[in-house]
């Protein structure tokens, strides 16, 4: 109903009351009419326009904020490849002013194609684009009153399973008993899957700090550490093992074979991401599932991995591979090859929930990464606005609120802002 229609209705109602025999009813509707006149009515989504784009940096994260003429705000996050990108955000943001945010895929494709010679294939440009993309999906959902998963076509599941990255890598040369103890803590919290890193630059058995061909003693250390975890948690808890792409092909092949009796959920990035042939050889020679892809960008980056059977499980990082729309396209491509989709995630809870919307929207979702420090470090709760537990018994419940469903608490984030870089300015 338009403002004029409402005024007409209320005026007629007031007039009818005035001619009634009971004087107290003469003012019926006047208070309501006044209240409506004073209440600003939001214009329709078709009138929504972007007025400004700002950003903030904290730790390894970039947070993009897109503002509009209707006071709706969208937030997006990028990770890793974001150092020194403040002016790139400003340049892209200036191109959006005055435009509608309701076409995330259109804007994504425009930004990607216009920078064909400006780095739009991978790296920093795509990471920044990922933050823009998430913020645009957030805004679109808020404008239309729909959660992002609905905009992506609906959800296959209400909650997404997460694995706990135990972050034991913060301990120097941990012993097998340390691995077992940390695993037990995670399982007792309700997690059904855990992840450990086995690349150790300070391993005393390492002969050469530059050559990452693991010695027999290093491989034995790796096996004993994960064997202790398996013994502690039993046969039904899933175990992921990460090598961070630091080793050479012979080591990757050897470790994958050695780990076979431990029945891993996956061995992650045994070799660097830039050699598909090496991945393919390792994958085909072992029964240990091989996982990778956090350092690949855009859907095109996954074509050879999938078409050549070079990998068993893909793990794009939706905060740097291109964003939410591109993340769904990657998942759908993987689904055509019957390959599980298990996103890497090292961002805040904003990034986790944004990823969860994509995970909910595709059939081949497997599991999502979760950092253990997000359960214990107060910082991660301070920088977002969210009124429920982050994780419940090893699952992240997908928000039904419009947009992503998580807001940035700017005052909280400011406490952890990167020094010397403008904060949402």
Q: What is the mean pLDDT of residues 242-260?
A: 97
- pLDDT above 70 coverage of the chain, percent: 90
The yes-or-no verdict on residue 2 having pLDDT over 60 is no
pLDDT for position 42: 52
| Distance between CA atoms of residues 92 and 114, nearest Å | 11
Residues 136-183 pLDDT 10s: 999 999 999 999 999 999 999 999 999 999 988 777 889 999 999 999
> What global pTM score does this model have?
0.89
Q: What backbone phi and psi angles, to 5 degrees, belong to 396?
A: -105, 115
For the residues of 344-401, what is the DSSP string, one character each? B--S-HHHHHHHHHHHHH-TTB--EEEETHHHH-HHHHHTEE-SS-S-BTTEEEPP-S
Cβ-in-10-Å burial (0-12, 13-18, 19+) of 117 comes to exposed
pLDDT for position 173: 86
- Please give the CATH number for the structural domain made up of 151-403: 3.20.20.120
Q: What is the mean pLDDT of residues 297-313?
A: 96
**Block residue for tokens 């996954």:** 302
Residues 325-372 pLDDT 10s: 999 999 999 999 999 999 999 999 999 999 999 999 999 999 999 999
Which of 19-28, 86-95, 259-268, 367-376 is least confident? 19-28
Answer yes or no: are the C-beta atoms of 280 and 310 closer than 8 Å: yes
Domains of the chain by residue range: 3-38, 45-145, 151-403
45-145: in CATH 3.30.830.10: no
pLDDT for position 43: 61
| Distance between CA atoms of residues 3 and 37, nearest Å | 8
Residues 64-116 pLDDT 10s: 999 999 999 999 999 999 999 999 999 999 999 999 999 999 999 999 999 98
Q: How many CB atoms lie within 10 A of CB 267?
A: 29
| Distance between CA atoms of residues 268 and 342, nearest Å | 11
- 57 - beta bridge partners? 62
| Distance between CA atoms of residues 419 and 404, nearest Å | 28
């Amino acid at each position: 109903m338009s403002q004029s229609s409402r005024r007409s209705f209320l005026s007629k109602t007031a007039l009818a009351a005035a001619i009634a025999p009971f004087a107290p009813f003469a003012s019926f509707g006047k208070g309501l009419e006044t209240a409506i006149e004073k209440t600003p009515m939001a214009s329709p989504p078709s009138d929504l326009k972007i007025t400004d784009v700002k950003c903030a940096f904290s730790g390894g994260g970039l947070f993009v904020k897109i503002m509009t003429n209707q006071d709706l705000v969208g937030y997006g996050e990028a990770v890793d490849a974001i150092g020194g990108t403040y002016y790139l955000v400003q340049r892209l943001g200036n191109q959006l002013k005055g435009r509608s945010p309701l076409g995330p895929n259109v804007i994504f494709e425009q930004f990607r194609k216009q920078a064909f010679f400006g780095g739009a294939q991978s790296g920093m440009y795509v990471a920044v684009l990922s933050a823009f993309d998430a913020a645009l999906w957030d805004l679109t959902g808020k404008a239309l009153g729909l959660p992002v998963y609905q905009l992506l076509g609906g959800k296959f599941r209400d909650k997404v399973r997460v694995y706990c990255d135990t972050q034991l890598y913060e301990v120097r040369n941990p012993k097998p008993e340390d691995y077992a103890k940390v695993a037990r803590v995670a399982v007792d919290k309700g997690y059904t899957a855990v992840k450990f890193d086995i690349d150790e630059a300070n391993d005393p058995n390492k002969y050469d700090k530059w050559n990452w061909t693991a010695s027999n003693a290093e491989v034995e250390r790796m096996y004993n550490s994960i064997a202790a975890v398996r013994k502690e948690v039993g046969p039904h808890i899933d175990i992921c093992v990460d090598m961070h792409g630091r080793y050479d092909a012979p080591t990757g092949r050897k470790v994958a074979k050695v780990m076979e009796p431990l029945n891993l959920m996956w061995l992650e990035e045994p070799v660097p991401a830039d050699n598909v042939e090496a991945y393919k050889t390792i994958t085909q020679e072992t029964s240990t599932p091989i996982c990778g892809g956090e350092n690949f960008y855009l859907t095109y980056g996954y074509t050879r991995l999938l078409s050549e059977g070079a990998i068993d499980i893909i793990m794009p990082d939706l905060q740097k591979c291109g964003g939410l729309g591109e993340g769904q396209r990657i998942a759908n491509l993987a689904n055509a090859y019957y390959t599980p989709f298990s996103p890497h995630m090292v961002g805040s809870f904003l990034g986790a929930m944004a990823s969860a919307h994509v995970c909910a929207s595709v059939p081949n979702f497997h599991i999502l990464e979760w950092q253990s420090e997000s359960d214990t470090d107060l910082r991660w709760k301070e920088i977002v606005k969210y009124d429920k537990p982050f994780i419940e018994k090893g699952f992240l419940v997908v928000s039904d609120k419009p947009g992503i469903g998580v807001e940035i608490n700017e005052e909280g984030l400011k406490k952890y802002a990167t020094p010397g870089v403008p904060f949402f300015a």
